[in-house]
A and B are shown apart, each in its own frame.
Chain A
Amino acid sequence: MEAITSRIGRGQVLLADGAIGSLLMARGLPRGAPPEGVNLEHPEILEEIARLYLEAGAEIIQTNTFGASPLKLANYGLGEQAGAINESAVRAVRRAVGERAYVSASCGPSGRILQPYGDMEAEKMFASFQLQMQALIQAGADIICVETMSDISEAQLAIQAARSVSPSIPVMATMTFEATARGFFTIMGVTTEKASSELQKAGADLIGSNCGNGSLQMVAIAKEFRKFTVLPLLIQANAGVPELRAGQVYYPETPEYMAEMCRELIGAGVAVIGGCCGTTPEHTRAMRKVVDEKKKNSRGS
Chain B
Amino acid sequence: MEILKKIAQCLEVGDDAGVPPLVRQALAEGIVAKTILDDGLIAGMNTVGEKFRVHEIFLPDVLLAAKAMYAGMDVLKPLLLSAGVSSRGRVVIGSVQGDLHDIGKNLVGIMLKGAGFEVIDLGNDVAAEKFVAAAKSHDACVIGMSALLTTTMPVMKEVVDLLNKENLSGKIKTIIGGAPVSQNYAGEIGADAYGYDCAQAVAGVKKLAAAVP
Q: Which residues of A contact B (CB under 8 A)?
A: 22, 25, 31-32, 67, 75, 109, 111, 113, 116-118, 148, 150, 178, 180-182, 185-189, 241-244, 247, 249, 277
Q: Which of A67, A187, A247 contacts B58 (CB 8 A)?
A: A187
From B64, B150, B152, B179, contact of A32 by CB (8 A): B152
Roughly how many angstroms separate A25 CA and B154 CA in the complex, as a whole number? 14
Interface-central residue, B54, B56, B100, by most chain A CB under 10 Å: B100
Q: B31 at interface (Cβ–Cβ under 8 A)?
A: no
Known interface pairs A32-B127, A148-B100, A181-B55; 19 further A-B residue pairs with C-beta atoms within 8 A, sorted by A's residue number? A31-B154, A75-B98, A75-B124, A109-B100, A111-B100, A117-B59, A182-B55, A185-B55, A187-B58, A187-B59, A188-B58, A188-B59, A189-B59, A189-B61, A243-B180, A244-B185, A249-B153, A249-B180, A277-B149
A241 vs B149: C-alpha distance when bound (angstroms): 11
Interface size class of B (residues with CB under 8 A): 20 to 34
B129 CB–A CB distance under 8 Å: no
Are B103 and A187 closer than 8 Å at their CB atoms?
yes
Contact of A242 (CB < 8 Å), options: B54, B60, B127, B150 = B150
**Are A32's CB and B97's CB within 8 A?**
yes
Give bound CA distance, A242 to B151, whole Å: 10
User: Which residues of B sit under 8 angstroms from A241, Cβ to Cβ?
Assistant: 179
Are A244 and B127 closer than 8 Å at their CB atoms? no
Cα A180 to Cα B188 with chains together (Å): 30
| Bound: A176/B64 CA distance, A | 22
Taken residue by residue from 97 to 137, chain B's Cβ proximity to chain A (1 for < 8 Å, 0 otherwise) reads as 11110010000000000000000000011010000000000
Q: Which of B54, B56, B103, B182 contacts A244 (CB 8 A)?
A: B182
B50-78, CB under 8 A of A: which get 1 and which 0? 00001111111101100000000000000
Judging by beta carbons under 8 Å apart, are A117 and B100 in contact? no
- Chain A positions within 8 Å of B150 at CB level: 242, 244, 249
Query: Nearest Cβ distance between residue A112 and chain B, in whole angstroms?
Result: 9
The number of A-B residue pairs with CB atoms under 8 Å apart is 68
User: Which of B149, B150, B154 gathers the greatest number of chain A CB atoms within 10 Å?
Assistant: B150
List 23 interface pairs A-B (beta carbons < 8 Å), by A numbering: A25-B151, A31-B151, A32-B125, A109-B99, A111-B99, A113-B63, A118-B63, A185-B55, A185-B58, A186-B58, A187-B58, A188-B58, A188-B59, A189-B61, A242-B149, A242-B150, A244-B150, A244-B153, A244-B180, A244-B182, A247-B154, A247-B188, A249-B153
The contact of A116 among B54, B64, B100, by CB within 8 Å, is B64
A31 CA to B63 CA, complexed, in Å: 30
Q: Which residue of B58, B127, B149, B188 has the most chain A CB atoms within 10 A of its CB atom?
A: B58
Q: What are the residues of chain A within 8 A of B188 when measuring CB–CB?
A: 247
Q: Which residue of chain A has its CB nearest to the CB of B127? A: A32
**Cα separation A186 to B59 with both chains bound (whole Å):** 9
Q: A247 to B100, alpha carbons, bound, how many Å? A: 24
* Distance, CA A180 to CA B180, complexed state (A): 18
Which of A31, A75, A180 has the largest count of B CB atoms less than 10 A from its CB? A31
Interface string of B142-158 (1 = CB under 8 A from A): 00000001111111000
- Docked pose: A186 CA to B100 CA in angstroms: 12
Rounded to whole angstroms, the CA-CA distance of A294 and B140 in the bound complex is 60
Specify which chain A residues have a CB less than 8 angstroms from the CB of B124 in the assembled complex. 75
Residues of B within 8 A of A185 (CB): 55, 58
CA distance A188 to B100 in the complex (A): 11
Contact B54 A181 (CB under 8 A): yes
In the assembled complex, the CB of B157 is this many whole angstroms from the nearest CB of chain A, namely: 9
Q: Please, which residues of chain A bring their CB within 8 A of the CB of B125?
A: 32, 75
**Please, how many angstroms separate the alpha-carbon atoms of A148 and B100 in the complex?**
9
CB of A29 to closest CB in B, whole Å? 9
**Whole-angstrom CA separation of A180 from B57 in the bound complex:** 11
**Interface pair B63/A117, CB less than 8 Å apart:** yes
Contact check, B58 vs A242: say whether CB atoms are below 8 A apart: no
Contact A150 B153 (CB under 8 A): no
A150 touches B100 (CB 8 A): yes
CB distance from B69 to the nearest CB of A (A): 14
